[in-house]
Amino acid sequence: GESVGLHLPTLSVQEGDNSIINCAYSNSASDYFIWYKQESGKGPQFIIDIRSNMDKRQGQRVTVLLNKTVKHLSLQIAATQPGDSAVYFCAENAGGTSYGKLTFGQGTILTVHP
Amino acid sequence: GAGVSQSPSNKVTEKGKDVELRCDPISGHTALYWYRQRLGQGLEFLIYFQGNSAPDKSGLPSDRFSAERTGESVSTLTIQRTQQEDSAVYLCASSLGGTSGAGELFFGEGSRLTVL
C-alpha cells in the first residue's frame, strides 16, 4: 500500500508474473478513482479509472478493484513486462465540477526484472 | 504538437526571484490544471481552469503563486519571491473537461524548478 513520506513502497516482480499494487484512499465522499503510471522524467500517464458505483473494471492487461467498505483500491497488471517498470499512483476525486481536481497517493515503485 | 507542452523544462533561480512557467495544452481541451510534485512524492493540485469560468485556486499554497490562462489556450504559472521550498516539478495537464473521461488528464513532462 501507499504511505506518507519519502520512502515509497516498492514491488519487484519477474517478467511474466502478475503484479498487484494497492492503495488506501482517505475520503469516503470520493466517487471516482484513477490509476496513473509515471516513468522517470515524464509526466503521469492515465491507465484506468473506475467510478464508485462499480467494484471492478478491466482494461488491456490491467484490472482495477474498488472496495468502498474499507476504502481500498488495487491495480492488477497481468503478465508484467519490463516496460511496466514505473511509479504507479492512485488518485481520487470527490466529484463536483472539477473532475480533474485529484488527490494523489504517494506512489508505488514497480520494478520488473527480465 | 499533439501533446501538452511545457517550458522551460528546467529552471534554476535564486531565492527571491520571480519565475514564470508556461503550458500549451492540447488543442480543443477546455480544462487545464497545474500540479506540483516534490521529489519522491505524489502530485499536489494547485489550480484548475475550465473554459470561461472562474478558476479553482484552492490548491495554491500562498499568495506568491498565481496563474493565468488566455481563453482555452496557453497558461502561465507565476511564482513570486521564490523560496527553497518551491523547488519541485510543476506539471500541467489538460482534459476535455466535463464528466466524460473526467480523470483522464494528459500531462506535460513538467518544468523542474530549483531554487538556490
Q: In three state form, how does the secondary structure of chain A look?
A: CCCCCCCCCEEEEECCCCEEEEEECCCCCCCEEEEEEECCCCCCEEEEEEECCCCEEECCCEEEEEECCCCEEEEEECCCCHHHCEEEEEEEECCCCCCCCCEECCCEEEEEEC
Q: Do A32 and B109 make contact, defined as CB atoms within 8 angstroms?
A: no
Tell whether the model's pLDDT for residue A5 goes beyond 90. Answer: no
Q: Which backbone phi and psi does A77 adopt, to 5 degrees?
A: -115, 120
Tell whether the model's pLDDT for residue A2 goes beyond 50. Answer: no
Q: Are B32 and B93 in contact (CB under 8 A)?
A: yes
The continuous run of DSSP H or E covering B84 comes out as none
Q: What is the pLDDT of residue B101?
A: 57
**Nearest-CA residue of chain B relative to A105?**
B42
Ranking A1-5, A79-83, B65-69 by mean pLDDT, the lowest is: A1-5
- Give the confidence band of B2 by pLDDT, cuts at 50, 70, 90: confident
- One-letter amino acid for residue A58 of the chain: Q
Classify strands B75-79 and B19-24 as parallel, antiparallel or unpaired.
Answer: antiparallel
Give the C-alpha separation, B81 to B71, whole Å: 27
Which of A4, A75, A102, A103 is the mutation pick for testing B, counting most B CBs within 10 A?
A102
Average pLDDT over residues B7-32: 96
A99 CB near a chain B CB, below 8 Å?
A: yes
Q: What is the pLDDT of residue B100?
A: 56
Q: What is the pLDDT of residue B12?
A: 98
